[in-house]
Chain A
Amino acid sequence: MTEFAIETSDLRKTYSDGGEALRGLTLQVPAGSIFGFLGKNGAGKTTTIKVLLGMTHPTGGDARVFGLRATEQRASVEIRRRVGFVSEEKDLYDSMSVQDIIRFTAGFYPTWRADLETRYLRSFDLPAARKVKKLSHGMRTKLALLLALSRGAKLLVLDEPLAGLDPAVNEDVLQALVRHVADEGATVFFSSHQLADIDQIADHVAVVDRGRTIVSGSLDDIRDRYRRLQIVFDGDAPALPFRTAGVIRTRRDGRVLTVFTSGGADAIAAEARSANAVSVDVQPLTLKEIFLESVNASQHAEN
């Protein structure tokens, strides 16, 4: 069995004002994978990440990184020794220069990789003497990434790393991540809204909505299973109660019945034909459609 770099089980977080950020979130990130973490704003992505890094205390459930308990103080320090983190705001010490903050961070990691530092300093083209607060958004992101990569981290946890980046910097970041995974055998866990980037480099995804995981697994497997069926009838489309599990949504429009499903497309097609459908057209879904349909269904289920 593959070891999991990250594993959460029924993770819960309720704030003192009653707000429930996490309501039983379960996640399994295989070691060596590039894992995309998707969800609407406020769905619980950042809270999950902060729990993993010991910045937020969960109110229930279990969270482990490399098998270490994120809620245990000493284990949490060890986790941070092995993890490279970039926050959504690219939080850094504004008053330090690029060179200063690199030296400062390196001081915390006896396993600091000077070779990686040199490589990224050059390829990211970061001005060593400039103050962090004077850096553009793209450069700031690259600096934060350099600090995370150069410690030789086995796991990178990145909160919206690609937000607000121009296409060139975007590609630089993706390339650095891919390279780190290829060369160091690292795992990358990142949240993003950019589905195109997820399509490009992720091999596993999870979609989280309102504090719970609603889709998760290998991207290839998900793309294999999720289907849209367009079923046409002679007369008005009947309200077929599909017995196949996995149906996300059914839409009736005159003679056409559209079914979105997370699996068992063949069985659904068979059911449709036995109900005298005139034609059954099965199509794959894009990641965007999978995301939107799943989130929609989850919200309707709640109400």
Chain B
Amino acid sequence: MLWYKSWLDTRWRFLIGFAVLLVLACGVIVNYSVSASLLPGLANQPVDTSTAAGRLLAEMIQLEQTYRGFVWGQWWRQNLLQDATLFAVLLGSGSAISGSKGGLFTLSMPASRADWLTTRAATGLGEFFILAMVPSLAIPLLSPLVGQHYSVIDVLAHGLCIFVAAAVFYSLAFLLSTIFSDIWRPLLIAIAVACVVGYLEVIFQLNGVFKVMAARRYFESGSLPWLGLTSSAAVSVALLYGASLNVERKDF
């Protein structure tokens, strides 16, 4: 029954997220089919590499010469990274038991708060796992349509990195929802934190959570960023533990 309730509470966010990500994944294929013919031409264009922007542009053009590079640059490093973070926060917000809208009814059931919390977190993370892994499978599935091949292993490896790293933001939103009783503040604060972290990582070239999400090391050398994955997981666990402490001592 706990699982069922958790599903009921999150199913729309999950299903909409799945649909959106699926469409966006297909969008990568469409994008490629549109720009594929232009890319070789761009490679021959002279780019001013003395500025940082120029270097970035040059790197992108170089990257997108290969299909694998194109997908990494467009999807894993950009679109999915941003959208997965957004859906992680969405799934995590409004997780905790509130004092109204059924909260007292929930609390009057013969189940401990720990049970409710674990079930809810597991359901949310399970759904997020699916969001991180499954819609992206459209890419290997549809690549033959544009005459390309994309490895499923790459999807699984990148998906895993996205899942573990973005789970940090899920857990943050989850923790915030045990502090604030409405759905908006956890959502907005977590998104704000994500934006700030993102900017800091870029500006100061930090090895942060978004770096783990993008998994450049895997793209370039095929080895997963284990240190980044374990530390992200540890942060998530700590945040969820904090959420459980909050819930235990709360008065409703």
Contacts and interface: CB of A to CB of B under 8 A. Distances in A.
Contacts of A83: 108
B105 interface: yes
A55 B101 CA distance: 15
Interface residues of A, number: 28
Interface string A110-145: 000000000000000000000000000000000000
Q: Give the interface residue-count category, chain B.
A: 20 to 34
B104 A87 contact: yes
B207 interface: no
A53 B1 contact: no
Interface stretch (A74-82, A196-204, A215-223, A259-267): A74-82
A104 B110 contact: no
Interface stretch (A62-70, A89-97, A244-252): A89-97
A53 B112 CA distance: 11
A93 B249 contact: no
A226 to B, nearest CB: 35
B27 interface: no
Contacts of A94: 101-102
Contacts of A92: 102, 105
A41 interface: no
Contact of A93 (B102, B108, B110): B102
Interface in B70-124: 100-105, 107-112, 114
B204 interface: no
Nearest to A16: B251
B5 interface: yes
A73 B114 CA distance: 10
Contacts of A85: 108
A104 B5 contact: yes
Contacts of B1: 104, 107-108
Contacts of B101: 91, 94
B4 interface: yes
A91 B111 contact: no
B252 interface: yes
A55 B97 CA distance: 11
A56 interface: yes
A197 to B, nearest CB: 23
Prevailing SS type, chain B contact patch:
loop
Given A77-B112, A80-B109, A55 B251 contact: yes
A54 B1 CA distance: 20
Contact of B105 (A57, A93, A107, A109): A93
Contacts of B249: 57
A40 interface: no
Among B5, B108, B110, B252, max chain A CB count under 10 A is at B108
B5 A56 contact: no
A53 B108 CA distance: 7
Contacts of B5: 104
A91 to B, nearest CB: 4
B115 to A, nearest CB: 9
Contacts of B103: 91
Contacts of A76: 112
A225 interface: no
A53 B105 CA distance: 11
A74 B110 CA distance: 10
Given A91-B104, A108-B1, A50 B109 contact: no
Given A50-B252, A56-B251, A77 B102 contact: no
Nearest to A101: B105
A109 B110 contact: yes
Contact of A89 (B100, B109, B110, B114): B100
B108 A87 contact: yes
B15 to A, nearest CB: 16
26 contacts: A15-B251, A50-B251, A53-B108, A54-B107, A55-B108, A55-B251, A55-B252, A57-B251, A73-B114, A74-B112, A76-B112, A77-B110, A80-B109, A80-B110, A81-B110, A87-B105, A89-B104, A91-B101, A91-B103, A93-B105, A94-B101, A104-B5, A107-B1, A107-B4, A108-B1, A108-B111
Given A77-B112, A80-B108, A92-B105, 4 more contacts: A50-B251, A73-B112, A104-B1, A107-B4
Interface of B: 1, 4-5, 8, 100-105, 107-112, 114, 249, 251-252
Interface of A: 15, 50, 53-57, 73-74, 76-78, 80-81, 83, 85, 87, 89, 91-95, 104-105, 107-109
